[in-house]
Amino acid sequence: MNKTILAAGFLILSTNLLAQSKPVFQGQGEVRPVETTSRPVQKQWKGNFPFENGAIVFSNNFSGARLNGIMQNNDSTFTVLITPENVPVNPSPWYSFAIWSKRKRTIYINFTYPPGVSHRYYPKISANALNWKPIDSCDYFEKKRPARSDSATADVSIRLSLKPDTLWVSAQELQTVKHTLNWIKEMARKPFISYAEIGKSKEGRPLYVLNIGRRRSKKMIMIISRQHPPEVTGYLAMRSFVETLCNNSPLAKQFRENYSVYVVPLMNPDGVENGHWRHNAGGIDLNRDWTKFNQPECLAVSKFIKKQEKETSGKFYFGIDFHSTYGDIYYTVDPKLRGNMPGLVPEWLTKLKASFPGYDPKIDPNDKMEPAIISRNYFFVSHGMEALVYEVGDNTEREDLKLKGKTGAIELMKLMLSKK
């Protein structure tokens, strides 16, 4: 007998999901103002999905999971349904679930999404939810759909070898609130780093800032990441960047004597914990709320920045917001617009490119800063920060993105010290 389990409250989604992946990603178009007052979010039913009297069990009962429904097609094939928290939403269909089986067996899993959404993230698997690897290419099957210019690249299925031990399958490595807090605490073991709560998310989770530097300098930089839950590669690059600013090199020590560094590593803890595709628990893309500040996460950071400026009578000279997309892109402020350290970002990107022979990422300067809408514009317009959005490719090799984060930090420190 085939058996179907659909998560309670399954939502029939309308077709206004946006899924416009182009063959070569050229960056996003103009960002338009949108309403950012809270909207309803579809809560995910959480628990275990047993089949064959519990001989095989799927689960979304963990932080960061997303599995909205599952169906058994035959003895060896299952179809999972992955849906977003609400619509419209960007085509970043996050999934994450666990499976165990009483006996050793091989199964196939088909991925399905709402109309217009195509599979995006190459599956990662883990035996302990800590160490991840991309699924073997022999176990990954992609059937091209009939060519359509505006959407849907492929139907995807995977083959898994199951055992009684749990196997995790996830769009990217799981980096939940707990993982991030562990990193924060690890960093704060250094004598010149502390951390503090600067506010709470919509669902009441703490928003943390790392304070880096022995003393509070009048010269400051601001780093944020993970406004968008699935963007794990941006988060990992951010960590490497920050760890380099905090290492024992003479350069980093000198930098920290001159600048205070503030880091909000996890802007959207609710979205991460709930396995959202994009939004916070208010159903809003946080990176559209930097004018109205309707959402507590953006408001907390804005208040924090203003407080530092007031208490030190100082300035923020640089602001960076780490994200992920189809390939490495730097969204910058047009160099003719001058902030607190003119020329910093273009010179930095020139140095960064020169550090990697053949590295030619897209650099996309923008001169339309108002209304601010996004973090980069807010950092620039309201605080004069030389600001940018750094988008790391979804599939950038993890060692490579760490190296870029590290090199970026080294070149930035050299430049900012030379300009002091």
- Can you tell me the distance from the alpha carbon of 181 to that of 175, in angstroms, rounded to the nearest whole number? 10
**Minimum gap (Å) between residue 232 Cβ and Zn ion:** 11
- Can you tell me the distance from the alpha carbon of 183 to that of 263, in angstroms, rounded to the nearest whole number? 12
Identify whether 309 is a catalytic site residue.
no
Residues near Zn ion (CB under 5 A) are: 228, 231, 323
Q: From the candidates 391, 397, 399, 411, give the one annotated as an active-site residue.
A: 391
Instruction: Spell out where 172-314 has E strands.
Output: 193-200, 206-212, 219-225, 260-264
27 with 329: CB under 8 angstroms?
A: yes
What is the three-class DSSP state of 255? helix
Closest CB to Zn ion among 72 and 227?
Answer: 227
Q: How far is CA 113 from the centre of its chain?
A: 20
**Minimum gap (Å) between residue 215 Cβ and Zn ion:** 33
- Can you tell me the distance from the alpha carbon of 381 to that of 385, in angstroms, rounded to the nearest whole number? 8
Q: How far is CA 118 from the centre of its chain?
A: 19
**Minimum gap (Å) between residue 147 Cβ and Zn ion:** 28
**Minimum gap (Å) between residue 417 Cβ and Zn ion:** 30
222 with 305: CB under 8 angstroms?
A: yes
- Can you tell me the distance from the alpha carbon of 399 to that of 403, in angstroms, rounded to the nearest whole number? 6
**Minimum gap (Å) between residue 323 Cβ and Zn ion:** 3
Closest CB to Zn ion among 59 and 396?
Answer: 396
Closest CB to Zn ion among 101 and 240?
Answer: 240
| Closest residue to bound Zn ion by CB | 323
Amino acid in the structure at residue 262? Y
Which helix H or strand E contains 399, and what residues bound it? helix 398-418
Question: Which residues are designated catalytic?
Answer: 391
